[in-house]
Structure formats: structure tokens, C-alpha cells
Amino acid sequence: MKKILVIRNDKIGDFMLAWPAFAMLKQSMPDAEITALVPSYTKALAELCPSIDKVLVDCGKKADKLSKKELVSQIKAEQFDASICLFSDSYNATLVWKANIPFRLAPATKISQFLYNHRVTQRRSQSAKPEFEYNIDLIRAFLSKQGVDAKEVSAPYLSFAHETLLTQKQKLSAALGLSADKPWLYVHAGSGGSANNLSLTQYTDLVVGIASDKEIEVVLTAGPGEEKKAAELQSLLAEKSVHSVVYDKNDGLQDFTQSIACANAFIAGSTGPLHIAATVDVPTIGFFPAKRSATPLRWKPINSEGSHIAFAPPAAKDKEEAADMSKVAIEAILPEVRNFLGRVI
């Protein structure tokens, strides 16, 4: 049995976009033991992934020397046959090199690429295709070098038993006062400090426009530190006579993921919760900057075909203008949003 270490140790959204890659690897090599190296804050999500057998927690590049040394020893002790770095930096390159993993594959980028003995040329900076496809390309290259045919994969990449979701929905109904007879529309106005997002006024106009066309329950989700923003949005919606509830307390990421799976649709900027929703194939509406490194194409969620629509400011040569989310005209996109929601919920 081959033991394979797959590294995706950055943000939540980046990790969720690696799930198709994990799925292809596991389905193509079902007898292999796949271990994911992730930061502590994505550990709970990695433990949910059906394509991951074991999880190692990365201490991170800012950790002290002793912690890094212990991590290398831990990786060495696992005696991995191969490692696949789904993104490369000097920290990851040094890690697998010091751990003496025999087969080390990663994108050919930066000077640290020479610490890998197998490299794949990728021009991610061109953002020519979605991030999840770049990840899959690395798995295809690995499988080809192993003489293994790649098994194609498709959404959903995570699903819960009907009884599990029924229990979760009953819990949320009781805690938040939601009607189980109406569609649940989740709106996540936070950004997690990553990509630019719509303003609260824009989110207000969007939700008011949707609620005027469809009877729904509006759930405003919030992560740590985002509670104030959700409360402000709730107040703005109340001024427009739209009732909403704030959902900012959960029992951790696994519980939050189950709650997202209860939604009928999910609206957010390019942030972790949007990609969690896509992983369980809840229909998503995403808002992205137009600058090349952050476009709707590059960070396209992993929904099934037809279950995602995206909006961005008009294309512009100036990077600041391309990232100016105030340029997204809510009134102009509302017909497409309503049509999408009418089709998926």
C-alpha cells in the first residue's frame, strides 16, 4: 500500500478547492493511504473529507524551530512513499525535503522547486482556469508517473445522511425560529480578511430584491469577528421590512458545515464559507473582484454544473478599479439572481 502525503496548508477556501484533487487521488488509488497536512483551523474540515484517511496538523512557517523539527520527525516517522504539494513555497519544499520523502511532486515555481524531484509547470499567475483544476492537474501528473489511470470525479464532494440533515435542520429551526416550509437563503457578508466583498448596503439591496420576489427565510451567517457586521446587516434589512436572523454561534466547523448543508442557497464573497457551501453542493451566488488573481474563474467554487453563478465589477486595467466591488450594480444583476434562485430552490 502506498502512503501519500498531500499538502494544502493555507486558508479554508483554498483547502476546500483541493477536495476534487483529493477525490481523484483516492478514487484512482483506492488502496493508498492518503494523509493531508493542514493548519489547525482546517483540521476539522479535513476530518470530514471522505477522500482523506489521516490528518497531520502543520505548525506553520511562523512556528519556533523546535515545533518545526518535531513536525519533520513526525512526517519522517510516517514513512511516506510520496508527497504532493498542491501549492509550493520554500517552507513546504524544505519540509518534504528534510523529511526524506522519496517522491516529491509540486508546481515548478520559485527557486525552491529544486528541492522537489518531480515538478509540473503551472502558470497560476495567469489565472487561466479555476484553482481546483490546477490542483487536479497535479494529481493527474502524479497518477501518470505512477502508471495509474485517473478516475474522473464530480460534485458533491461531501454529503450527509438524510437523518443527519433532518436533525440539524430541526435544531436550527428551534434555535433561530426558522420555518421548515420556506426556502432558507444564507447570506455571508464577512470576508475573512481575504478578497474584497460587497458593502452592507449592496447586500441589503440584494436581499430586499430577492425577498420581494420570493417568500424565504434569510439567515445571516458570521464567523469569529464577523458578528457585528451580521448584526448591522440585520438592522439594515429590518429598516426595509425584511426579517432575518443572525447565525453566529455553532459547535465548530463540522457543525457549521452541516448547518450550511441545510441551506437552499448561499450568497457570499470569495471566502471560505462560500467554498464550504459548494463542497456540499448547496447552490451558490458569489461576488468576486475582477483583478486577474481573484476573478470568478480563478476562484470558481466546486458546485455541480448549473449550481453556481458569479458576479464581478466590470473589467478594468487599473487593479484598484478592478477590485472595486461598489461597481457591482445590484439592480442590474437582480433579474439574473432571481432567475437562478427560481431554478435551484
Does residue 152 sit within a domain? no
What is the rounded average pLDDT of the residues 141-163? 98
Which of 223, 187, 225 shows the shortest CA–CA distance to 205?
A: 187
C-alpha radius of gyration, the chain, whole number: 21
pLDDT at 196: 83
| Domain identity same for 131 and 268 | no
Using omega within 30 degrees of 0 as the cis cutoff, is the peptide bond preceding 156 cis?
Answer: yes
Question: Among residues of the chain, what percentage have pLDDT more than 90?
Answer: 91
pLDDT at residue 52 above 70? yes
Question: Among residues of the chain, what percentage have pLDDT more than 70?
Answer: 99
Q: In sequence order, what E strands does 165-270 have?
A: 184-188, 217-221, 244-247, 265-269
Phi, psi values for residue 153, rounded to 5°: -125, 160
pLDDT at 194: 60
Cell numbers 482523506 correspond to what residue?
52
Q: Which residue has the higher pLDDT, 324 or 195?
A: 324
How, if at all, do strands 184-188 and 118-120 pair? Answer: unpaired
pLDDT digit string (tens) for 213-232? 889 999 999 999 999 999 99
| Domain identity same for 194 and 333 | yes
| Domain identity same for 297 and 232 | yes
- Stated pTM of the model: 0.96
| Domain identity same for 209 and 311 | yes
| Confidence band of 58 (pLDDT split at 50, 70, 90) | very high
Sheet bearing 217-221, strands edge to edge: 244-247, 217-221, 184-188, 265-269, 284-287, 308-311
pLDDT at 193: 62
What is the rounded average pLDDT of the residues 35-47? 98
Inter-axis angle of helices 162-176 and 253-260, nearest 10: 90
Does residue 38 sit within a domain? yes
| Domain identity same for 80 and 183 | no
Q: Of 111, 146, 181, which marks where a domain is finished?
A: 146
Q: Of 113, 146, 179, which marks where a domain is finished?
A: 146
pLDDT at 200: 97
Q: Which residue has the higher pLDDT, 191 or 55?
A: 55
Per the CB < 8 A criterion, the answer to whether 54 and 37 are in contact is no
pLDDT at residue 60 above 70? yes
Range(s) of the domain holding residue 96: 3-146
pLDDT digit string (tens) for 92-142? 999 999 999 999 999 998 788 899 999 999 988 899 999 999 999 999 999
Does residue 155 sit within a domain? no
Q: What is the CATH number of the domain that holds 234?
A: 3.40.50.2000
Cell of 315: 473589467
CA distance linking residue 23 with residue 170, whole number of Å: 31
| Confidence band of 255 (pLDDT split at 50, 70, 90) | very high
Residue 54 burial by CB count (10 A; 0-12/13-18/19+): exposed, middle or buried?
A: middle
Per the CB < 8 A criterion, the answer to whether 55 and 76 are in contact is no
pLDDT digit string (tens) for 304-339? 999 999 999 998 888 888 889 999 999 999 999 999
pLDDT digit string (tens) for 268-312? 999 999 999 999 999 999 999 998 889 999 999 999 999 999 999
Residue 121 burial by CB count (10 A; 0-12/13-18/19+): exposed, middle or buried?
A: exposed
- Average pLDDT of the chain is 96
Coil, helix or strand at residue 287: strand
pLDDT at 110: 77
pLDDT at 113: 87
Domain count along the chain = 2
Distances (CA, A) of 330 to 160, 200, 212, 287, 311: 34, 12, 14, 11, 10
pLDDT at 315: 85
